[in-house]
Structure 1
Amino acid sequence: MSISRHLLPRRPGVIATLVAVLTAFVTALSTLLLVSTAQAAAPAQLPVRVKNNSGQSGPLYLYVLGVDLKTDKLGYVDRAGRFTPWSLPGGDDPAPAPDVSIAGPDDGAAVTLKIPRNLSGRIYFSFGQKLAFSLVADGLVQPAPWNPSDKNADTLFDWSEFTFNDAGLWLNSSQVDQFALPHQVNVTSGDGSTDKTGDLVDGGRQKVIDAIKHTKGFERTVITGDDGQVLRVLAPGKATDAGLLAADYLDDYIAKAWKSYSGKKLTVVPFAHEPEKKFFGSSSGGKLIFTDTAGKQVASFARPSTSDVWDCDGNLAAPNDLVVGPIARTLCAALHRGTLGASTAEPVSDPESFYRTDLTNHYSAIIHANMVDKKAYGFAFDDVTGQESLIHSGDPAEAGIILDPLS
């Protein structure tokens, strides 16, 4: 799971309410990792080298925003690695956030940021102009460019997500909301080994754009600026919200997949490390009803809408538990990948079986196909069977983000 990505709240653009769930999740994960592996203590500040290979001539601006996992306070980090909590307004009316941008490197150059330990959040990067953030009483309003009235809708920008605590660093590139600025993320551990992900194939950005433009139903999800430059490709859920993708796009496929289990059983094994933990589903009255190995009913899911699938929410909402949540995320991943209905066991782990149906998440399929390692965060639970663009080190010495060429 992309730690900072999946635990963002459903309210668009606000990161305040992630604190309690995020802290609980990271604490549990940290405890597990610390118990299971002997690791050196994480440094107080982690250097993150940002290299600009974009080919863009305009100025680049960087932002480090997040949650202090010790205090639950939202804030920002300066170039030297100092965390400062936001001064939140008293009312509900949004107030402009102060400019906390960090000057980024010119094309071909690099700068090194520092991230303090016990922080979870995002590193934003924008070209040409600074991003506009707002503050409300309960937190920070982040850019939402799928809303044409958002002040950042005409800005070329993207972000990486991270959590850095005593158990190490998790860092990912994300395409859950949009595909805009391709970038590699990497981490070098104390032993000198380096792990990386997020690299596109040569010309990959344009290949993704061209493929999306030629995919029936998805043509309008490519957003172009007034100067003719492509700013982003919207993920299906965001494109649907903007009226650029049919709201019922997946409905026929979902109905067939749901109905198929009236005549056969679906076995869900949500944890690869616990193969004996199984749940059995069958369709009845428009619902998928699951029992455990003792025959006890443990979960029931009404047939989801297309929007429920794109957002992994609504009838597919995944609570932070050990039964309903894991089943929900498995079902959501299967519906995105088009394996539900054809399979009798989920999750299907062979990527060659993904995206074979006519009605599927073509956006995610195209992005995965153009990644060097075939890993991406094409939707919220793309980490099911480890398809996500996430790296982790329990003993990080340095991390990096490399902005790839746009053309």
Structure 2
Amino acid sequence: MQFYANGGAWADVHYSLAGGSQLNVRMNNSGTSNSYQISGLSSGEVVSYWFTIGQSDGSAVNTPTQTLSYAAPAPAPTPTPSPTPSPSPSPVFPSVGTTFNLINGTHGAYQDNQVYWTMVGQDPAHPGTFVHVNCAGALIPMQPGDDGALTKDGQNYVNYSIPLSQCKSFTVPQILSARIYLSVGSPMYIQAVGSPVYGYTGPNIDNPSDPNIDVTYDFVEVNINATNFYGNTTRVDQFGFPVRLRLQDPSGYDHTVGETETRAALFQEFVAQVPQPFQALAQVQAPYRIVAPTHGGFGSGGANAHYLDSYIQSVWNQYRSQSLVFTDAQGTFTGHVVGNQFVFTDGQGTYYVNNMPSTQEVLLGNGVFNDASNAAPGVATAKQLQIQAQLDAALNRHVAGNSADWNTSADFYNSGPTNYYSAFWHTHSINQLTYGFPYDDVSGFSSSLIGTNPTVATITVGW
């Protein structure tokens, strides 16, 4: 079970199990995100908890006590059986940071010299410095002169991509806001931007002339600080090929996320299992990828641009005359719609979803779902953003009409219109965990992995 407390410079979780003694633990911190995981719970075990959240002005705020009954996650659908692998050897942990082990799981479709990794991010020792990573795990600052090492269609690009034949294991002590791009048959075409460099141009699948539009790639998101590894696979933008991420730490933590089926099977099953409006997502940029809805007809001006509008309108109409009551880590909130504004209170403040969202805002989690307007600073802003994330997740999952369903995955995606793209990837992912939309981490259904350093992360490129 994972606790989250966002919006604080630090946070403590205070919890008790089955009425036992209270435990007080400092949570793992990354920026203003705080998390802590407990294990060994039995299904039905009662957990009581509350948080102390540190504020930027040095003060601290206590949240109300909450109680829940732990429900063990539902098992994932059994994929096509595969041969039982030989027991893996015990991981060799680095002295600090994370050792990445990359595996070519393309079953001969691509040799090691055709499978590339490209790691880019920021150096925590030098804030704002963008870096790429080499085989030694060193953070190499991006330089304006890096552009030109690769060319495509007359344009110059950096060459930060490394084939598995050159190295497939490296250790990174720390790195922030990083991506590990994985590509087959081609390196990634990236440009360093600015002099001095203040960023880089990653792939843009909405741009038909993007140099990576005909490159089959995928990526893993990573953040490594002095104490923790945070990482995830993602389907928020696209599916290029199956990717698995396994994370291990010395405490015995050992979890894997991603997909186990073949690329061909997933393409075929997607078209067969999603409703007609979503089928084109596997066709508009084939054979390179299956795109997320807003990249394939559900964006502004697209054929399905208003796909969720009727459902959104029905939810807003429902809560004009009814109250929406839900509880999350920051308290219990009661909301109702006034005009087109969704207004919430917890007895301590007032929080807003400032307008009725569009289909695109629901699918992308942006606009009114990432809007601090009208909120008081500090804790109130954090609560407002958390409320927006909760409601956005409920709309994607078609459970916004009944908050009792918000934490039960068996109730998600059962009625249309809903985000059938996300539903598909949950069904076909290990333990039904993935990022099918940006706020899929609400209630713990994302593919996020958090380990205590030193850690070993094994990434498998499937096909």
Per the shorter chain, which TM-score range?
0.7 to 0.9
Q: What is the TM-score with the length of structure 1 in the denominator?
A: 0.80
* C-alpha displacement of 1:194: 1.9
Report if the CA contact (8 A) 1:160-1:173 is conserved.
yes
* C-alpha displacement of 1:223: 3.9
Of the structure 1 ranges 378-387 and 97-106, higher mean CA displacement relative to structure 2 is found in 97-106
Among the aligned pairs, what percent are the same residue? 25
* C-alpha displacement of 1:387: 0.4
* C-alpha displacement of 1:330: 0.4
Residue in 1 that maps onto 2:212: 152
Please point out which of 310, 325, 346 is paired with 1:292: 346
Aligned length: 359
* C-alpha displacement of 1:398: 1.5
Question: Cα RMSD between the aligned structures?
Answer: 3.0
* C-alpha displacement of 1:400: 0.7
Q: 1:310 to 1:195 in 2, by over 3 A?
A: same
Q: Deviations over 1:154-211 (max 9, x none)?
A: 11100001111112111211111111221110112124542211133x4476245433
The structure where strand makes up a greater share of residues is 2
Please point out which of 127, 131, 136 is paired with 2:184: 127
| Counterpart Cα distance in 1 of 2:165 and 2:94 | 27
Residue in 2 that maps onto 1:270: 328
> Aligned pair 1:307/2:367, yes or no?
no
Q: Deviations over 1:279-330 (max 9, x none)?
A: 2111221221112225x53324310001111111112215594211000100
Of the structure 1 ranges 389-398 and 313-322, higher mean CA displacement relative to structure 2 is found in 313-322
Q: 1:255 to 1:63 in 2, by over 3 A?
A: same
Q: 1:139 to 1:395 in 2, by over 3 A?
A: closer
Report if the CA contact (8 A) 2:189-2:212 is conserved.
yes
Of the structure 1 ranges 374-383 and 60-69, higher mean CA displacement relative to structure 2 is found in 60-69
Matches within 5 A, 1:11-50: 26-29=30-33, 43-50=95-102
| Counterpart Cα distance in 1 of 2:35 and 2:237 | 30
Q: 1:45 to 1:284 in 2, by over 3 A?
A: closer
Q: 1:269 to 1:99 in 2, by over 3 A?
A: same
> Aligned pair 1:247/2:302, yes or no?
no
Residue in 1 that maps onto 2:240: 180
Extract unaligned runs of 5+ from structure 2: 5-28, 38-51, 53-92, 146-154, 373-377
Residue in 1 that maps onto 2:169: 112
Please point out which of 104, 107, 110 is paired with 1:52: 104
Specify the SS of the correspondent of 2:392. helix
Q: Deviations over 1:66-125 (max 9, x none)?
A: 011231211101011111111248xxxxx844211111259xxx8212223243301111
Q: Deviations over 1:321-373 (max 9, x none)?
A: 421100010011011101112x145x711001101221110000011011131
Greater relative contact order: 1 or 2 (C-alpha under 8 angstroms, separation 6 or more)? 1
Extract unaligned runs of 5+ from structure 1: 4-24, 90-94
Residue in 1 that maps onto 2:270: 211
Report if the CA contact (8 A) 2:97-2:224 is conserved.
no
Specify the code of the residue in structure 1 equivalent to 2:136: A
Specify the SS of the correspondent of 2:276. coil
Q: 1:78 to 1:127 in 2, by over 3 A?
A: same
| Counterpart Cα distance in 1 of 2:275 and 2:295 | 17
Please point out which of 95, 117, 141 is paired with 1:62: 117
* C-alpha displacement of 1:47: 1.5
Residue in 2 that maps onto 1:13: none
